[in-house]
Chains A and B, each alone.
Chain A
């Protein structure tokens, strides 16, 4: 299983707004341009996600979009909150497990009755878990 991604960015999108962002690996060239390029690619891929949701019954939507060597894999929960992962190497099984485990933690966050789909996730615990899972499956 190749695990040599140089770019890994994970985003949770509720509605149209990113409610959680985590840059697991910034990419080889650490420049200012990278941040917004990644956001652009992820944001644009939401259009593909919207289409992919209706083509499969599973939550994991696999690779939904590419921009040159950057690939976006997506996962949609049943409440249509989307998990997006920007990566540049192929690691399908790892990403699937990563999304699946994140979903469990995400449900725990959503159990909070005051947490809406567009509330930003600021839990440090959640952040730690995401990084642990990324370490486990992606790096």
Chain B
């Protein structure tokens, strides 16, 4: 029967070529034992020797079958079989053979490039295969398809595999060749009775062994044969003419034969011997004794045989059968006869409930005619024959025969390129006929396979999948697996590839492969499935596939792959703990065998789960961090650094001046012998407790640059090993440490560990970050901030300090001043100098430093250093050097008005005495935390006194923001020392202190009078008491800093504005700490310039005694002070309006505001008298220019009084404007004041 090549993807033409090739005429070969032995010299049998040359190209032979016109056959393939092998093996034998063929198939390299878990690699693999459409996707399917069809050769219901010719081969060495030939022919006829028919074409072949006898002799023998059997019926071929001369070095004959030798079955049959080539010299390479002339003789024999003998013979047979059939079956008469009398014909033979047709029957002949014309490529004749006979088979209910005929009819249509639909209908009916027959599933499957191939060839893969799936009809797992696998590939071949369907069918195929014990193919199927499922995260599928692939890999001894799979199972979080425990145990068992305790053989374990994308690197470059300081935000330190680092040292380090070509923004700096810590998070996702040991960083070291990293030795790098136990679902953050002993380069690659004492695991860090644009050799791909960089430049030893605060309070009140001490220790191996210290908001104030010499127990000769302070930066003398191992100590005063959990950050700057180009200085960052409770808060406003421009009134509101404690305000001080304070009203208790209860507020008025002498603040602060009741003991250098700190929280003074800084001293007995606390809160009272820019006061004698009798005019001198409270200079005019001048006769009416309001206040009596009560005299208009802010201008004026009495004087005013603006002019009326003049008797 036709053997279709099983290329899943091919064109219709390919299909046709394959069908034609595999359905060629079949020849029976029978040879003498001597001939067999000749052939065996080259490791072959005669049929195998002939097979590679049986495909004849460009024959160009004319053929005329039944039609009038001849056509030419170009290519013809004949099939040669030994007569002893021409029978069909049983179904069971066939299945066994197939499963053996498949299990022997080497598939190791087939899926090379496909990684379990990468869809990209799968797509690439498949698309490569699809592109190269001529190639098979899976070679084992081609093999299977070939072997499957071979198992169905020589079927009883088909005639296409019946021999049409017999070739009798005899050896030339026999003296009587002719009689031997006759005997062999006779023997063959007897041996193969069922294959024999008298009309077989007989051909005689004389085989000459060149190593055995003379060629001339053989030629004479051939002449004899020709005389006996006919000239054209005899041929001679020569063998073994190749001289095995090693010296000549003849090139070996190319192996053309191995592809043509089928695998033999234990029971024989299907065209192959039971045992491969009896007596063959298996050690010899196939065809090694054949020379080119031998091969040419074979080729010419076959060509002449086919063209001159076989084709004419087949033409004759076709014509004969056609004539015979036409006379009995064609025409109206015969049709009727057939219709009526067919039923009565005795179908004597019945096999398996279906009629069997003998070779003499007309049905057999019609079928044979169809097959012969199919061989001769007259597909029209073949199709009509198949159609004709199929009706008969149908009416006889001979389903198997019917199926065979329809199958061939379908193929005829395909070969003719007829209607696709018709071909499908034929193959469909073949399928249903075989199903009706029901006994031989193999035939059913074959018809479906052909159907699917036809559908694929016509580019309908989806329908082909349906056909393939329908072919899974019995419990043959191997076949089911192969069919599902093909179906899966067809999903990929669809116009839009369906990868998920592919995966599903592949998984089913893998399962079937596994069931039938073919673990190789099963493993490769599962690998493909995993490739699709890698990123889809369907948990159960992932777990199941890994488990299945792991089991299969174990079966095929691929423990490495099995281990990989089991490794994935360690994250099966959906499973109950007992299953997880089992997975873990299995994994460890496997790991024990694979790794064999070797440390270098590490696995990318997923247990414990490591957050490789996020790590925190602790290291000291020019910025060092004390404990707890890492956690603070970058801004805090940036602000401190800005203040503490002298600008001079940074010159050349800004972006303008920096040498960009040398900038390596992927490198961190650190000193040799300093510890680098990496915070890594380990998580146990399972519900099983695991032990993790030997956890350490995986580092690479390079003595010079980043291109030569190598694994490090103990002399260069010291890594610390950690171990811990993770409870179910536990997460832990571990700081892994490494220190480099020599200067060079360090790269931290990842982390390694030992799981449960057995499996060595490793993970590489893959820190997230934006991609770098230009990546040089060895440089990281991504950009990272310093605390995530894992590449270090290790500098030679540089100094390093540790700062320790002792006695730092845990809690304090806002405004309280506490004291603690600071010890600075040079723990590095190099001296340092130029220390500078700064703290946030200047809340820490540093006193004098004392150098502690440990060797001298007595504190003799201790050096004391006073830091100078500028803008909150405490500087130690430049020439002071702190040598390695030396310590120094100082007192620190803490003051803050912020409330809550306050971080007191400080930065300590220093320079190595021998500075390195890359690290000229270092800054140590420290953080201390203190809980600050609220105390009192000040608010209020400053008013100008109406009495004098030298006096201010401070309206102070004291609010207690603490919810528990009562505060007592004891003392109020003006910190500049320029004003005397005088509290209006007494205190709320006996001692004169103002008591402020929790959440209450008290207002007090304070008169502040300017004074000439300036007091020192120090004395007031000295009165404060520390918690321990010791005297505060402020050092002189500290005093100014403290003062700054006290007022730093208050509002900034506007430039040129007026301010009165007020300090309020308080004390309380705390309920929280059960101690006495005292502190000080400051506030700047600011002049509110905007509301009333000009202020005018008059100083005058309140009561004057004057003798009007003696002198009728009383002259009273006054002083008018003009105060500029604005922030700009002003100029203006002071008008002392004289009542006489402005007097108007009509004053009695409504007073005119602008001019005569002065008089309206004068008593009625005076008005009636018509005399003036008073008037200004002297200079009446005063002009002044550029009165500066906060400046006072005093103007002397004189009032004349003419009679005794009490006078309200208000007719004066000031017209002014800001110096820098011309337009707007303002007017300020003088406020009234009273002059009382008493007459002197």
- Residues in chain A within 8 A of chain B (CB atoms): 16-18, 35-36, 38-41, 43-47, 51
Contacts and interface: CB of A to CB of B under 8 A. Distances in A.
Contacts of B541: 36, 39-40, 43
A44 B501 contact: yes
A16 B501 contact: no
B419 interface: no
Given A40-B507, A43-B503, A17 B544 contact: no
Contact of A44 (B503, B537, B544): B503
* Most B C-beta atoms less than 10 A away, residue of A39, A41, A46, A51: A39
A124 to B, nearest CB: 18
Contacts of A39: 538-541
B538 A44 contact: no
A23 B503 CA distance: 23
B630 interface: no
Most buried by B among A16, A17, A35, A45: A16
19 contacts: A16-B535, A16-B536, A17-B536, A18-B537, A38-B540, A39-B539, A39-B541, A40-B504, A41-B504, A43-B503, A43-B533, A43-B541, A44-B504, A44-B505, A45-B500, A46-B500, A47-B491, A47-B498, A47-B499
Interface string B488-509: 0001000010111101110100
Contacts of B496: 51
A43 B537 contact: no
A88 B836 CA distance: 79
B504 A43 contact: yes
B1143 to A, nearest CB: 81
A39 B533 CA distance: 11
Nearest to A42: B538
Most chain A beta carbons < 10 A, residue from B491, B500, B505: B500
Nearest to B507: A40
Contacts of B538: 17-18, 39, 43
A44 B500 contact: yes
Contacts of A47: 491, 498-501
B536 A36 contact: no
Nearest to A49: B500
A40 B536 CA distance: 12
Contacts, number: 43
Contacts of B816: none
Given A43-B503, A51-B496, 13 more contacts: A16-B535, A17-B536, A17-B537, A18-B538, A35-B540, A35-B544, A36-B544, A39-B539, A39-B541, A43-B504, A43-B536, A44-B504, A47-B501
Interface in B531-569: 533, 535-541, 543-544
Contacts of B505: 44
Nearest to A40: B504
A35 B545 CA distance: 12
Contacts of B507: 40
A49 to B, nearest CB: 10
A35 B579 CA distance: 15
Nearest to B494: A47
A129 to B, nearest CB: 23
Contacts of A16: 535-537
Nearest to A17: B537
A93 B402 CA distance: 47
Range class of the B interface residue count? 20 to 34
- Majority SS of interface residues in chain B? helix
A12 B491 CA distance: 24
Contacts of B543: 36
A17 B536 CA distance: 5
B299 to A, nearest CB: 52
B500 A43 contact: yes
Interface string B1178-1210: 000000000000000000000000000000000
Contacts of B491: 47
Contacts of B536: 16-17, 43
A51 B504 CA distance: 17
B252 to A, nearest CB: 51
Closest 3 CB pairs of A and B: A44-B504, A36-B544, A47-B498
A45 B505 CA distance: 12
Contacts of B544: 35-36
Contacts of B501: 44, 47
A54 B1147 CA distance: 100
Contacts of A36: 540-541, 543-544
A20 to B, nearest CB: 13
Contacts of B504: 40-41, 43-44
A46 to B, nearest CB: 5
A34 to B, nearest CB: 9
A57 B928 CA distance: 65
B1063 to A, nearest CB: 51
Nearest to B491: A47
Interface in B447-505: 491, 496, 498-501, 503-505
A35 B542 CA distance: 11
Contacts of A18: 537-538
A44 to B, nearest CB: 4
A25 to B, nearest CB: 17
A43 B502 CA distance: 11
A63 to B, nearest CB: 16
Contacts of A41: 504
A9 to B, nearest CB: 11
A39 B498 CA distance: 17
A46 B504 CA distance: 11
Contacts of B500: 43-47
Nearest to A35: B540
Contacts of A45: 500
Nearest to B498: A47
Among A35, A40, A45, A46, the one with the most B-chain Cβ atoms within 10 Å of its Cβ is A40
Nearest to A11: B538
A39 to B, nearest CB: 5
B568 to A, nearest CB: 14
A1 B491 CA distance: 35
A122 to B, nearest CB: 14
A44 B503 CA distance: 8
B395 to A, nearest CB: 37
Contacts of A35: 540, 544
A82 B688 CA distance: 35
A43 B534 CA distance: 13
A39 B543 CA distance: 11
Nearest to B505: A44
A41 B491 CA distance: 15
Contacts of A44: 500-501, 503-505
Nearest to B497: A47
A1 B1186 CA distance: 101
B159 to A, nearest CB: 40
B499, B535, B544: which has the most chain A beta carbons within 10 Å? B544
Contacts of B499: 47
Nearest to A19: B537
A38 B504 CA distance: 11
Nearest to B536: A16
A117 B985 CA distance: 72
B307 to A, nearest CB: 54
B259 to A, nearest CB: 38
Nearest to A15: B536
Interface in B838-859: none
A17 to B, nearest CB: 5
Nearest to B548: A36
A15 B501 CA distance: 16
A113 to B, nearest CB: 22
Interface in B654-694: none
A38 B541 CA distance: 9
Contacts of A17: 536-538
Contacts of B498: 47
A23 B1000 CA distance: 63
A35 B541 CA distance: 8
A109 to B, nearest CB: 19
A40 B500 CA distance: 9
A115 B500 CA distance: 26
